[in-house]
Chain A
Amino acid sequence: MKCRVCKGPAVIDVRRHNANFCAEHFLRLCRDQVAKAISQFAMLAPGERVLVAVSGGKDSLALWDLLLELGYPTDGLYVGLGIGDYSDSSATYARAFAAERDLELIEVDLRETHGYDIPTGAKAAKRAPCSVCGISKRHVFDRAALDGGYDALATGHNLDDEAAVLFGNVLRWETDYLARQQPVLPARDGFPRKIKPLVRLGERESAAYCILRGIDYEVEECPMAVGNKHLGYKEALNAIETTSPGSKQQFYFGYLERAASRFTTDEEDGVGDGVALSACQRCGAPTPGEVCGFCRLAERASQAQPVAAPVRKMAS
């Protein structure tokens, strides 16, 4: 395999671009794609401060590195989810990345700060762990971004993530959620601007970026995500991608260009779908009720008996 740019030995194929790249030109491709996404969707103006939500995984660490490469002032935010040794291990990668580059990493531990962890919260709420994790992280992310005065909160959602979510929303015709599936959600009262600068990179590319940049990341999957629907959607989309490279990109960007506007609501960003929001009586976050879903979850989960996280699967 030869690099499309320099004709030297390639280290990776990117079939949806019908091209192979050497390390130098693959890294440049990643930077260019992120810069293009930021520009295409007006995510950031030069010099804006960004809070990067980091999990210790490949996407969030690649994102942090790429934003630094592009010159944005950034801090990281790590949320301790209390998922046993998986969380312990993930935290070490986030901390090491920050320490090696002398970067600020804000840490919020769910149990220390809010009195529960994800395994306990999932059992107490009788909800899927990923759902409880989502509610919890969104609350912590929003609060930290607003309190810190950041211009935007950046998450490591990549093309595969967005295509899989779109696939799931289309399968069930979740029109309200289709309206909100945008690479940028503008700031509004109680919510920071949220951006997804990796939407033009696949997760195979973000993993390769980390390897080529020497970024160590958590490779093992979260033990609580086993059987998650979106992992199945990703596998299904990759099966299609194998025989028809570029399908995921066409699916997602075709949606944004030609279909998303059909699902938007009266509100500018579609968030809230016409539901009147007021301040949560406990935390002040926007909510359609008196007490927000996060505070209700935290109240219930913090009073529950702690639940141990499942251990990682290890083959004999």
Chain B
Amino acid sequence: MKVLLRNPRREVEVDGPIRVFTLLDRLELNRESVLVLRGDTLVPGDAVLDDTDEIEIRPVISGGFDSLPTLRSGAEQRRGPAASATPELLSAAKPLK
């Protein structure tokens, strides 16, 4: 069967029949991190995929995050400038998280 993978987008051929969970194990994909679709339809993990199926394994992990503090704490301010930070950008932004 044809299996479409994403990020980066590529296609692989896998022999069927095969259970969805077995396919994910074979491709070393974490079942918590993906959904499996046949067309626009979700395919449950215990479903058996046929050799003629065309499926998509869609990753669900997404998002870049502002990973560094953007507002220094009062304690940090009292200690003086942060050596590794850009002072202009540390001065005011309020973290959402």
Q: Specify which chain A residues have a CB less than 8 angstroms from the CB of B90 in the assembled complex.
A: 293
Contact of B95 among A180, A219, A235 (CB under 8 A): A180
- Are A294 and B95 interface neighbours, CB within 8 A? no
Residue pair B92, A294 in contact (C-beta under 8 Å): yes
Q: Are B66 and A130 in contact (CB under 8 A)?
A: yes
Least CB separation from A166: chain B residue: B97
The reply on B83 being an interface residue by CB < 8 A is: no
Interface size on A, residues (CB 8 A): 88
Set of chain B residues within 8 Å of A312, measured between Cβ atoms: 8
A107 an interface residue at 8 Å Cβ cutoff?
Answer: no
- Alpha-carbon distance A289/B97, docked complex (angstroms): 21
Q: What total count of A-B pairs have CB within 8 Å?
A: 198
> Is A134's CB under 8 angstroms from B65's CB?
yes
B93: Cβ under 8 A from any A Cβ: yes
How many chain-B residues does the 8 Å CB contact rule pick out?
A: 49
Contact present for A134 and B66 (CB under 8 Å): yes
Q: What are the interface flags for A273-298 relative to B under an 8 Å C-beta threshold, 1 for contact and 0 otherwise?
A: 11100001000011111011110110
What are 22 A-to-B residue pairs whose CB atoms are below 8 Å? A11-B44, A13-B44, A59-B63, A131-B67, A133-B64, A134-B96, A157-B96, A175-B73, A176-B73, A177-B95, A211-B37, A224-B64, A225-B63, A228-B67, A235-B61, A238-B61, A280-B92, A286-B94, A289-B91, A292-B93, A314-B9, A315-B10
B residues with CB within 8 A of A: 6-10, 30-35, 37, 40-46, 58-71, 73-77, 86, 88-97
Binding site for B on A (CB under 8 A): 1, 9-13, 15, 20, 23, 57-59, 125-131, 133-135, 138-139, 155, 157, 160-162, 164-165, 168, 174-177, 180-181, 185, 191, 194, 202-204, 206-208, 211-212, 214, 219-222, 224-225, 228-231, 234-235, 238-239, 241-242, 271-275, 280, 285-289, 291-294, 296-297, 300, 312-315
